[in-house]
Amino acid sequence: MRWIRFSDGGAPGYGLLEGTRIEAVSGDPFNGWQRTGRTHALEQVKIEVPVIPPTFYAAGLNYVAHIREMGAGHGLNIPTQPDMGYRASNALIAQGEDIIVPADATEAVQYEGELVVVIGKQAKHLTEDNALSCVLGYTIGNDMSERNWQKSDRTFWRSKNTDTFKPMGPWIDTDVDLDAMQTEVRVNGKLTSHFKTNDMLFGIARYLSTMTRYLTLYPGDIVWMGTDGVSPNLVHGDLVEVSITGLGTLRNRIVKEGVA
Amino acid sequence: MRWIRFSDGGAPGYGLLEGTRIEAVSGDPFNGWQRTGRTHALEQVKIEVPVIPPTFYAAGLNYVAHIREMGAGHGLNIPTQPDMGYRASNALIAQGEDIIVPADATEAVQYEGELVVVIGKQAKHLTEDNALSCVLGYTIGNDMSERNWQKSDRTFWRSKNTDTFKPMGPWIDTDVDLDAMQTEVRVNGKLTSHFKTNDMLFGIARYLSTMTRYLTLYPGDIVWMGTDGVSPNLVHGDLVEVSITGLGTLRNRIVKEGVA
């Protein structure tokens, strides 16, 4: 099942996407829904951010090659436990919307292609065996980062949460084969990163079971699972496409503020 | 004007508190409201968390004595710019609800009494002069922290965002005199911390103007402004009361999980 959040002139709502047709539902996948019989052509609606999360979680260092690269010279070690970070909803944008890079950002603006877990049910005290039972489905995130701010600031507030720095979408797939997934990132059509999506330091079940020892997950919460490898510096006009097997492709263009 | 979020058997709603009487409103202070004429006695309703924020911001090191204490031996310096952190809504509890300390927490469980800024209007590119124009009002927060997890973990996910670790309330005051405010914290009635609330390293206007260079604030967002001084370790049964001049007193009891 493929959930899409979209708008067609009015307020955003949810629908089921089959091929290129959307059937609108009343309600939403988190609190109950019913088919309406109303259909829309995918190419005629605006795709919206698939969910505005109550809490926006992000696993930081969760793939070995990324840790080696980011940690070079900065004393980062391979984590021994799955500590969870946070991102902020102000930064979310949908499929096709522009990533606006502030005029005072440095040249070190980079992508991070990530698998996103969308929580469907309230959950606490999950075990690794039953952890995935709270998951509604999966989508794609691009954890855009300004690397010099990331190094100079005490937190990630501006390096990772500047408005438009968190593209997410295009939709949520409920039936996936995690072990068959490959993440690929292309810049202007050229493949620049690829890795096995589920080749994580700590897997999804381990993260969710560890987190829910202490905290309650709620319907609509999202957990971004981290990235592998490195990104080139992105410049004005670049088209960034993050693809994950079975989930489609998340496409956004880089626009540098103040460039004519 | 004093906004209270409360429930009386049904779903939470907003009201205006005058003395010990609440007049319920339809709508809410962020999106528009109207008086209903229905009134309730304060002591007969359940006080709810005053707002569930879209984004939960927290200034970390914003008072000099707290930085000196927390930084001793850990290389923390006085910040040169106002970097913003994040907390998570799962951890919010209301006036009178218990702070549940997990069974595996160490003895270093401490309070942080904080002024909370509640955003009322969408805002970007604020100046220091007009920054407070986006503020609806103010309330009190207690940034409960497990200090050993805070030191050992890579992030604050469990040290500060364990369920129930973020008491907030009791209500929102729109008319305050920031410079007249004193923050006082009492444990079992004994004064254990007190400081001038507005004696911040970076003030509210400076924070909001800096943040909105890069990010949009939305109605209902909250910004916790940090704390000064130090807390004793809290134990099962302790009553923690955070008072700020004009805002009332936020009261919550410590309950250690697994203690009979």
**Terminal CA-CA length for chain B:** 42
- Please answer yes or no on whether B155 and A79 come within 8 Å at the CB atom: no
Query: Could you tell me how many CB contacts below 8 A there are between chain A and chain B?
Result: 92
B243 touches B142 (CB < 8 A): no
A39 touches A13 (CB < 8 A): no
For B216, the closest of A84, A90, A213 (CB atoms) is A90
- Residue A140 makes CB contacts below 8 A (sequence gap 6+) with A113, A114, A115, A116, A168, A169, A170, A242, A243, A244, A247, A248, A249, A250
- Please answer yes or no on whether A60 and B153 come within 8 Å at the CB atom: no
The token pair at B190 is: 């004994």
- Please answer yes or no on whether B88 and A124 come within 8 Å at the CB atom: no
pLDDT at A71 over 80: no
pLDDT band at B66 (very low <50, low <70, confident <90, very high): confident
Whether residue B108 lies within 8 A of chain A, CB to CB, comes out as no
Looking at the whole model, is its pTM more than 0.80? yes
What pLDDT, on a 0 to 100 scale, did the predictor assign at position A73? 61
Whether residue A81 lies within 8 A of chain B, CB to CB, comes out as yes
**Mean pLDDT, rounded, for B143-153:** 96
ipTM of the complex, rounded to two decimals = 0.94
Tokens 């996948």 belong to: A29
Q: What is the mean pLDDT of chain A?
A: 95
pLDDT at B260 over 80: no
pLDDT at A97 over 80: yes
**Mean pLDDT, rounded, for B242-258:** 97
Task: Read off the pLDDT of residues B160-191 as tens digits, 9 standing for 90 and up.
Answer: 999 999 999 999 999 999 999 999 999 999 99
- The domain spans of chain A are 1-46, 49-256
CA-based nearest distance B83→chain A, Å? 6
**Mean pLDDT, rounded, for B122-138:** 98
Rounded CA separation B32/B12 (Å): 16
pLDDT at B75 over 80: no
Whether residue A52 lies within 8 A of chain B, CB to CB, comes out as yes
pLDDT at A211 over 90: yes
Task: Read off the pLDDT of residues A107-141 as tens digits, 9 standing for 90 and up.
Answer: 999 999 999 999 999 999 999 999 999 999 999 99
What pLDDT, on a 0 to 100 scale, did the predictor assign at position A80? 87
Whether residue B214 lies within 8 A of chain A, CB to CB, comes out as yes
What pLDDT, on a 0 to 100 scale, did the predictor assign at position B68? 78
- Residue B77 makes CB contacts below 8 A (sequence gap 6+) with B67, B71
* CATH value of A1-46 in 3.20.20.70, 3.30.460.20, 2.30.30.370, 1.10.3720.10: 2.30.30.370
pLDDT band at B150 (very low <50, low <70, confident <90, very high): very high
CA-based nearest distance A184→chain B, Å? 28
- Chain A residues with CB under 8 Å of B211 CB are 157
Rounded CA separation B27/B14 (Å): 7
Rounded CA separation B173/A77 (Å): 46
Q: Smallest Cα–Cα separation from B60: which of B198, B186, B207? A: B207
Whether residue A96 lies within 8 A of chain B, CB to CB, comes out as no
Q: What is the mean pLDDT of chain B?
A: 95
pLDDT at A70 over 80: no
Whether residue A83 lies within 8 A of chain B, CB to CB, comes out as yes
- Chain B residues with CB under 8 Å of A87 CB are 86
What pLDDT, on a 0 to 100 scale, did the predictor assign at position A72? 64
- Chain A residues with CB under 8 Å of B218 CB are 90
- Chain B residues with CB under 8 Å of A211 CB are 157
Rounded CA separation B17/B40 (Å): 9
The residue among A77, A78, A86 with the most chain B CBs within 10 A of its CB, best to mutate, is A86
Rounded CA separation A92/B218 (Å): 13
For B154, the closest of A79, A215, A217 (CB atoms) is A79
For A215, the closest of B54, B90, B213 (CB atoms) is B90
Give me the percent of chain B exceeding a pLDDT of 90: 90
pLDDT at B114 over 90: yes
Domain range B49-256, CATH architecture: Alpha-Beta Complex (3.90)
CA-based nearest distance A208→chain B, Å? 13
Task: Read off the pLDDT of residues A141-165 as tens digits, 9 standing for 90 and up.
Answer: 999 999 999 999 999 999 999 999 9
DSSP secondary structure letters along A2-47: EEEEEESSSS-EEEEEETTEEEEEEEETTTEEEEEEEEEEGGGSEE
pLDDT at B48 over 70: yes
The residue among A126, A144, A154 with the most chain B CBs within 10 A of its CB, best to mutate, is A154
Instruction: List the A182-187 sheet strands across, edge first.
Output: A99-101, A248-256, A239-244, A182-187, A190-196
pLDDT band at B80 (very low <50, low <70, confident <90, very high): confident
Higher pLDDT, A83 or B142: B142
What CATH class does B1-48 carry? mainly beta
Amino acid at site A58: A
For A86, the closest of B61, B86, B153 (CB atoms) is B86
Whether residue A60 lies within 8 A of chain B, CB to CB, comes out as yes
DSSP secondary structure letters along chain B: -EEEEEESSSS-EEEEEETTEEEEEEEETTTEEEEEEEEEEGGGSEEPPS---SSEEEE-S-SHHHHHHHHTTTT----SS--EEE--GGGEE-TT--EEE-TT--S-EE--EEEEEEE-S-B-S--TTTGGGGEEEEEEEE--EEHHHHHHSSSSTTTTTSTT-EEEEEEEESS--GGG-EEEEEETTEEEEEEETT--SS-HHHHHHHHTTT--B-TT-EEE----S--PPP-TTPEEEEEETTTEEEEEEEEETT--
- Chain B residues with CB under 8 Å of A61 CB are 154
